[in-house]
């Protein structure tokens, strides 16, 4: 049974397409019997037809562009004993202003036969009037080759004739390794739902029309583009006019994914790592694959207790070394990526703890502190007072104030030696000041009567 792949085309873009040379795009459309299977509430055929019709309609008015339509699998029904591997036909030849003709043909298509991808690709070579234009084929299919021909061999023959084979294979919920066979004729994308599908298709048409692609390499300290999964903002250079927003992605080959941006502008790139990295006044070269390099080496930080405890609600304030501005407030036990370098952290326990940490490439820096304990205060009447940590040389560091409106209170403190200094709230004389020393141990609880 054939598995479902769809290689589709959709125009949803704000780019200005100023074609400098004639571009011809041939849509090679699969109308094989498997397209009658369901995708959601509709058949694959109906979904593909609807999207393709909208795409064709959106192509009106683009200068120096001609489109054509070839369909396969739509003439001869497939049976248990027969499949017509010659079932492929140029339904609409290239011409200017043929959009309505193509749309009507698409509407009339019915899915019947087999999937002769290789023979359709080979026949497509004769569909282009000449080699004096950018000749592109966009394949739309829901399955693999069914006629024992070799699409890769045919693709090589077409390239020799100056025809670019660029099917963007969109796998819907498939094991992506299954799509490796398409690598010889184009590239593929993964789409798990219609919204993702539509987003991928937008990228497909932009690349076909603009013929300018961009790859943003977020490099490690070794110069390899392996950093990813951060937000990127592209502004018009020298302004705050935001033009594009992307989540950086590594594709199925673990390489930075290709994006399409308008080559007529210059850009400022802001990458939202911690701290953020920037590159300014970037130029994009037309009709080529551009690579933007930015060093964003990252490692991980985690702050945790040295033994299990229920007190994992602590925050950690993170600052760049030498800076007083808070870079991030990180949750205890969680991991967060930071640019490689030195940082100062303030662990918001009682009492506070401070550390200087080194973030290293692709490694996790773990800071461990003693698990806290609990002190419970009990008194017959309300008291006013403060808790201090006993330091060396008989010095006392303030930890917190007691709640003077209650007679029972509890505090979670790190292990150490403490002094509580207090007075009964209703007693109006300094002479009633009292103090008690106590010690806190990890995961232990003590009660002090005031």
Q: Are residues 262 and 315 in the same domain?
A: no
Going from the C-alpha of 374 to that of each of 73, 129, 304, 442, 445, the distances in angstroms are 75, 84, 18, 8, 5
Position 85 pLDDT exceeds 60: yes
* Interval 22-41 mean pLDDT: 86
Q: Are residues 149 and 270 in the same domain?
A: no
* Interval 350-365 mean pLDDT: 96
Q: What is the pLDDT of residue 102?
A: 96
* Interval 385-407 mean pLDDT: 94
Could you read off the pLDDT of 245-303 as tens digits, one per residue? 999 999 878 999 888 888 889 999 999 999 999 999 999 998 788 999 999 999 999 99
pLDDT band at 103 (very low <50, low <70, confident <90, very high): very high
Q: Are residues 283 and 414 in the same domain?
A: no
Selection from 74, 63, 188 nearest residue 138 by Cα: 188
Which range, 3-7, 134-138, 151-155, 438-442, is most confident? 438-442
For the chain, percent helix, then strand, then coil, each to nearest 5?
20, 40, 40
How many structural domains is the chain composed of? 4
Share of the chain above pLDDT 70, in %: 84
Q: How many Å apart are CA 77 and CA 399, to the nearest integer?
A: 82
Share of the chain above pLDDT 90, in %: 56
Contacts 24+ apart (CB under 8 A), 79-86: 83/113, 83/114, 83/146, 83/147, 84/113, 84/114, 85/114, 85/116, 85/119, 85/146, 85/147, 85/149, 86/116, 86/119
Could you read off the pLDDT of 116-154 as tens digits, one per residue? 888 888 888 889 988 788 888 888 777 677 887 677 777
Last residue of a domain, one of 182, 210, 238: 210
DSSP string, 208-270: HHH--EEEEEEE-TTS-----S-EEEEEETTS--EEEEEE--B-TTSSBPEE---TTSEEEEE
Position 13 pLDDT exceeds 50: no
Q: Are residues 308 and 426 in the same domain?
A: no
Helix, strand or coil, per DSSP, at residue 441: coil
Position 239 pLDDT exceeds 80: yes
Q: Are residues 62 and 86 in the same domain?
A: yes
Q: Are strands 187-190 and 168-171 parallel, antiparallel or unpaired?
A: parallel
Q: What is the pLDDT of residue 163?
A: 65
Whole-model pTM: value is: 0.72
Q: Are strands 383-390 and 353-359 parallel, antiparallel or unpaired?
A: unpaired
Q: Are residues 145 and 261 in the same domain?
A: no
Selection from 242, 167, 155 nearest residue 200 by Cα: 167
Residue with tokens 């593929």: 188
Q: What is the pLDDT of residue 42?
A: 83
Q: Is 75 exposed, middle or buried (0-12, 13-18, 19+ CB in 10 A)?
A: middle
Residue pair 186/139 in contact (Cβ under 8 Å)? The answer is: yes
Q: Are residues 280 and 157 in the same domain?
A: no
Q: What is the pLDDT of residue 199?
A: 67
Q: Is 270 exposed, middle or buried (0-12, 13-18, 19+ CB in 10 A)?
A: middle
Q: Which CATH number is 126's domain given?
A: 3.40.50.410
Q: Which CATH number is 347's domain given?
A: 2.60.40.1120
Q: Are residues 271 and 419 in the same domain?
A: no
Token pair belonging to 235: 């502004």
Sign of CA dihedral 284, 285, 287, 293: negative
Last residue of a domain, one of 318, 343, 369: 369
Q: How many Å apart are CA 341 and CA 408, to the nearest integer?
A: 45
pLDDT band at 174 (very low <50, low <70, confident <90, very high): very low
Position 325 pLDDT exceeds 80: yes
Residue scoring higher pLDDT (47 or 418): 418
Q: How many Å apart are CA 387 and CA 418, to the nearest integer?
A: 7
Residue pair 426/382 in contact (Cβ under 8 Å)? The answer is: yes
Selection from 55, 60, 3 nearest residue 34 by Cα: 3
Helix, strand or coil, per DSSP, at residue 63: coil
Residue pair 425/383 in contact (Cβ under 8 Å)? The answer is: yes
Q: Are residues 161 and 275 in the same domain?
A: no
Last residue of a domain, one of 278, 295, 312: 295
Residue 150: count of CB within 10 angstroms of its CB: 13
Residue pair 377/344 in contact (Cβ under 8 Å)? The answer is: no
Q: Are residues 14 and 125 in the same domain?
A: yes
Q: Are strands 23-30 and 38-39 parallel, antiparallel or unpaired?
A: unpaired
Position 190 pLDDT exceeds 70: no
DSSP state of 113: B
* Interval 316-338 mean pLDDT: 95
* Interval 415-444 mean pLDDT: 94
pLDDT band at 173 (very low <50, low <70, confident <90, very high): very low
Residue pair 43/36 in contact (Cβ under 8 Å)? The answer is: yes
* Interval 180-185 mean pLDDT: 59
Would you give the end-to-end CA distance of the chain in angstroms? 79
Residue scoring higher pLDDT (251 or 111): 111
Token pair belonging to 106: 């698409």
Q: What is the pLDDT of residue 131?
A: 76
Residue with tokens 């509407």: 107
Residue scoring higher pLDDT (12 or 30): 30
The strand pairing partners of 318, in sequence order, are: 328, 345
pLDDT band at 312 (very low <50, low <70, confident <90, very high): confident
Q: How many Å apart are CA 165 and CA 159, to the nearest integer?
A: 7
Q: Are residues 83 and 143 in the same domain?
A: yes
Residue pair 47/53 in contact (Cβ under 8 Å)? The answer is: no
Count of alpha carbons within 13 angstroms of residue 62, beta-carbon side = 30
Q: What is the pLDDT of residue 231?
A: 97
- Structural domain boundaries enclosing 22: 5-210
Q: Are residues 382 and 235 in the same domain?
A: no
């Amino acid at each position: 049974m054939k598995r479902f792949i769809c290689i589709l085309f959709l125009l949803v873009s704000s780019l200005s397409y100023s074609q400098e040379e004639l571009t011809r795009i041939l849509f090679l459309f699969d109308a094989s019997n498997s397209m009658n299977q369901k995708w959601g509430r509709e058949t694959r055929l109906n979904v593909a037809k609807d999207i393709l019709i909208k795409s064709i309609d959106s192509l009106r008015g683009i200068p120096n562009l001609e489109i054509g339509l070839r369909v396969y699998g739509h003439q001869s029904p497939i049976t248990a004993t027969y499949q017509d591997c010659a079932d492929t036909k140029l339904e609409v030849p290239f011409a200017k202003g043929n959009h309505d003709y193509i749309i009507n043909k698409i509407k009339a298509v019915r899915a019947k036969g087999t999937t002769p991808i290789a023979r359709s690709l080979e026949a497509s070579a004769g569909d282009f009037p000449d080699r004096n234009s950018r000749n592109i084929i966009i394949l739309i299919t829901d399955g693999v080759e069914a006629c024992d021909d070799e699409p890769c061999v045919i693709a090589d023959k077409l390239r020799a004739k100056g025809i670019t084979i660029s099917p963007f294979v969109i796998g819907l919920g498939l094991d992506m390794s299954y799509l490796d066979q398409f690598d010889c004729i184009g590239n593929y994308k993964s789409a798990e739902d219609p919204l993702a599908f539509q987003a991928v298709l937008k990228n497909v048409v932009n690349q076909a029309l603009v013929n300018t692609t961009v790859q943003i390499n977020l490099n490690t300290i070794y110069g390899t583009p392996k950093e990813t999964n951060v937000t990127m903002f592209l502004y018009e250079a020298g302004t705050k006019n935001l033009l594009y927003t992307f989540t950086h992605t590594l594709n199925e080959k673990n390489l930075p994914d290709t994006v399409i941006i308008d080559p007529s502008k210059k850009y400022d790139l802001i990458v939202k790592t911690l701290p953020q990295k920037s590159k300014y006044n970037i130029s994009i070269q037309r009709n080529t694959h551009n690579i933007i390099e930015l060093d964003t080496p990252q490692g991980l930080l985690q702050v945790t207790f040295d033994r299990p405890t229920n007190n994992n609600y602590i925050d950690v304030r993170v600052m760049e070394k030498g800076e007083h501005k808070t870079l991030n407030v990180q949750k205890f036990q969680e991991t967060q990526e930071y640019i490689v370098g030195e940082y100062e952290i303030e662990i918001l326990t009682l009492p506070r703890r401070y550390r200087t940490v080194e973030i290293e490439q692709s490694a996790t820096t773990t800071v461990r502190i003693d698990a806290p304990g609990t002190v419970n205060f009990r008194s017959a009447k309300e008291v006013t007072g403060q808790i201090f940590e006993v330091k060396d040389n008989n010095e006392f560091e303030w930890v917190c104030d007691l709640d003077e409106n209650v007679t029972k209170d509890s505090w979670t403190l790190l292990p150490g030696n403490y002094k509580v200094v207090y007075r009964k709230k209703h007693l109006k004389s300094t002479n009633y000041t009292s103090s008690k020393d106590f010690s806190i141990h990890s995961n232990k609880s003590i009660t002090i009567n005031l």
